[in-house]
Structure 1
């Protein structure tokens, strides 16, 4: 469903195709938000900046001012511990000698079979970082950059390079876009993925050069006019970079570098990069990035991608003028630091406009990881890697089955839902994925979702206990919806949830209150526990089966 279409219809929504309309949004651009700061705004911010809005996080950030909450989200902690050997099982032994529980990220490469084990280890570990994320935006930004500077594990096929790429994106999560672009250009995983390690003066390879312009910096919008000549010149600038597999780094081989001058188009001011010899040839990359990032479209392009990722996919003339342009000016004035841009966006009136709330369809990772975090699903500790990795594997499987296999976006341009017009995020929901989403939540809230021997189960009592007053059926329904939904439902729906599920058709609210109080006073009584568990399972299963649950 498209909430914006819903809000702009004079009559209840039907199954008619959505037609674009002009929305009644704020016209204040990036003016600071000065409205109320309640659960609704906090949950909106958390569901966009993190994976899900866990009740404990909602309570924490509601206790802060909006400014303090945003600053906390934009303050990242220390880097996590790297993935470990979790694959010495069923008689298999790492042929490079890495023992079980030790990290493999700087070990010898080994054979193809080992690479596949390590790639899976990396993917499960990555899911674990999302599940156990700190109270900041880093994990969402790692996914954003992974989608922007996409690589695919099944094409790179070197787990150590892929981990180094992941660590690179983490280190620049809220850092400098221009510096990150340079680092990615020299990153071993990217050099393999887009053939940069094959690029030399006798046979310039234009693969990465083309994507540097089209996908990574200035894009291919109506105001982007780079030329084929710019692509060829860029490829010549980037000749000579190779990979040292022992140190897992790249280096510059001057003997393979094109030392002739490189001329760029009028779009880039007809600039010329003077060819350089010896190791000075490596400095041509800085000259190239200075030319590209002097083009205002570079700042606008990345701001549009940030907007589509964190706010909404539709960028009309009003948004372009009142949001994208001022954000790009902030980016340029801060020398391409990303943090000030996001701080301005997340503190803006535009971000908290009701029409920008609950208007995105959850990505598979938002859906699967977010559900686990919001319900407080218990996972084994990271130190218990024998059990933790298989548990994380379940969520990886769910998201991949819903068309978002982390580490393997389908295209160099990332997942289509982040860029493909006109559907964008609506691509996440189809006749294949929606039943699979419902199956996951149906099983997780009941017997558990089992995959390869690991079971992910939602404890509805644990979730209810995280809410302010679970013994009051009216508040329980309302407080649950505040966390799980981003769009309010009708009073009739709330009444149905209370009367037909929690009260089992009785007329007295005390039916539920008494049942809850009986359980709380004697939690070891299986009969008391069964009464509340059965009704809570039915309540949350029903809530998660409604279309509103798919919105973030």
Structure 2
């Protein structure tokens, strides 16, 4: 696979950005991503959602006084808005000028998990997502501070129930275990004292939690070796003074973008640099990607469902496939947006390619390669059913079968062995005539075969 195609897939969701990488170079491409403005307007489907605490109280009051049928309708509307939010994000991923920002947002979304299945507040989930996007390439320490105080996270990890004399340790524990240091780099006493410092931090307006004096803990605590009267931001500052803080996140970023199993030396190398730039993600990310760019590291990562599906639709120019169907496919593949199964998030790696999930992928490749798919929309079941769309591949009609195979494989397969090459030449034979009326169908058959190979699942 040519480098610009490989890294377009790793830094986005398809090979669409390959030309930009080739023209600007990898560092120029990354800088363009950081610098390019992105739309940040409130989606219309959230217009009627409660946003302030006063609006939320009014909604809860109205819900409490409603009949059972009315409450069911309200819950149905909430679920519909939530699904629209999924399709809104899929649309951003498909249409973004620089999809790397959305991919990095998705990384943070799976790092700072706040799942809708528990939060069930659409506007708070949106605010959480907006914070991640805004700070995607900003400072890791400052992002952590914002997330810890976000309403979605406070509800997801029960900190609104964390009060002086009745402490809840969920947020304190995950702040250390899953968000920053990782297991083995703190004590149970640190968790208990962290919970004390976080007591009284509850929901607030503008997406930012506030401390309530009556339920806060006002005594000193000792946290990771430091003693004082600490609040949430203080805890984060202390965490980021610890020796092991840069390595936990470095390993996760390497896994998300390059290697399912990065070596310890790489983690140490890039983690040291992250610390040297004071946890600024943009310079760290530029160094990591530019150093890894030319290395022979293709095929070290299994495509997640997003990359698989959006590459498939882009290669086939299948823009007509609707966003709800893509959102449903992602959920069936185990990548349910805004709705991870637990606080650890999606496992990734080999978990993306069980035999059942591989079969689902192959069925989708079969369907789209023949210009049809089953539309699925849980909030508009009347639109469900088999749909037909036009599909086409980019290929040069002046080329013979070997050149077409080489070009197509060069942007879709991380490697081609003799067996694979022989199979492809059996499908697109030596006497292939690119001028014949059925030539497009023959090339589509070739792509259909490629998209179902194990090699296609790797980048």
TM-score class, shorter: 0.7 to 0.9
Partner of 2:71 in structure 1?
A: none
Aligned: 1:512 with 2:433: yes
Aligned pairs for 1:335-346 (under 5 A) are 335-346=278-289
Which residue in the other structure is 2:229 paired with? 274
Decide whether aligned partners of structure 1 residues 210 and 448 sit closer, same or farther in structure 2, where only a CA change above 3 A counts. same
Match of 1:436 in 2: 360
Paired position in structure 2 for 1:540: 447
8 Å CA contact 2:260, 2:302 repeated in 1: no
| 2:248 corresponding residue in structure 1 | 301
Deviations 1:361-416 (A, max 9, x none): 11112211222233332248xxxxxxxxxx11100111111111111111101112
Question: C-alpha distance in 2, partners of 1:457/1:138?
Answer: 32
Output the CA distance in 2 between the equivalents of 1:157 and 1:299.
Answer: 32
Superposition pairs of residues 149-548 of structure 1, within 5 angstroms: 149-220=112-183, 224-244=184-204, 247-264=206-223, 268=224, 270-274=225-229, 284-315=231-262, 319-321=263-265, 323-348=266-291, 350-354=292-296, 356-379=297-320, 391-417=322-348, 425-452=349-376, 453=383, 459-461=390-392, 463-464=393-394, 467=395, 471-490=399-418, 493-498=420-425, 500-503=426-429, 507-508=430-431, 511-515=432-436, 528=437, 531-548=438-455
TM-score by length of 2: 0.88
Q: Structure 1 residue 171: deviation in Å?
A: 0.6
From the CA coordinates, give the structure whose radius of gyration is larger: 1
Q: How many residues align?
A: 434
Question: Matched residues in 2 for 1:345 and 1:84: separation?
Answer: 38
Conservation of the 8 A alpha-carbon contact between 1:123 and 1:407? yes
Q: CA deviation at 1:180?
A: 0.6
TM-score normalised to structure 1 length: 0.74
Distance 2:154 2:40 in 1: 25
Measured in 2, the distance between the counterparts of 1:401 and 1:416 equals 15
What is the alpha-carbon root mean square deviation over aligned residues? 2.3
**Distance change >3 Å, CA 139–CA 256, structure 1 → 2:** same
Do 1:76 and 1:138's aligned partners in 2 also have CA atoms closer than 8 Å? no
Contact 1:240 1:253 in 2 (8 A): yes
Q: Distance in 2 between matches of 1:468 and 1:174?
A: 38
Instruction: Judge conservation of contact 1:502–1:539 (CA < 8 Å) in 2.
Output: yes
Q: Is the 8 A contact 1:409 1:415 kept in 2?
A: yes
How far does the alpha carbon of each residue in 1:13-34 deviate from its partner, in whole angstroms, 9 at most, with x for none? xxxxxxxxxxxxxxxxxxxxxx
- Unpaired runs of at least 5, structure 1: 1-38, 86-97, 276-283, 381-390, 418-424, 516-527
CA distance in 2, matches of 1:468, 1:173: 38
